[in-house]
Amino acid sequence: IAIETIEAGEDQWLEILLDQSSAARSLGFDAANRASQGDWGDPIDWGDIQDVGGVVPGRHTDLFALADSAGVVWLFWSRHEAGTWQVVSTRWDGVVWSPIEILADGLGGSREPAAALDGTDRIWLIFARRDGVGLRGLDL
């Protein structure tokens, strides 16, 4: 689903036309939440692009961001390197990005990281991992 507007600001109105959408209801939209007025939060900083310490060109996907109680921003994502998918991470302390850390690696690959902060301020990382990669079902 794509929700787009050419206008922005507190005096704008956005409404999903439920009777004209085949997906809105299955995505959880109904009469109670189909319309909104105003902006959706903090303005976007369209400043200069920043280098996220050590990210090299290649195949990157599945980005997930989390801010902890100290305001540190953690990024988790999947990257393809050396023939497999890895889950990697870096964090922004408000001044610099930390070096990239490999959190999951190995044959088969790891993808789709998601993180949650618990009541004791610990970060829990969940991701999909494929095991048992190799030649299967071949009679040689």
pTM for the model stands at 0.59
Q: Give one DSSP letter per residue of the chain, joined into a string.
A: -----S--STT-EEE--GGG-SSTTTTT--TTTSEEES--SSPP--------TT--SSEEEEEEEEE-TT--EEEEEEEEETTEEEEEEEEE-SS-BPPPEEEE-STT-EEEEEEEE-TTS-EEEEEEE----S--S---
pLDDT surpassing 70 at residue 134: no
pLDDT, tens digit (0-9, with 9 covering 90-100), for 88-133: 999 998 888 899 999 998 877 899 999 999 989 999 999 998 876 5
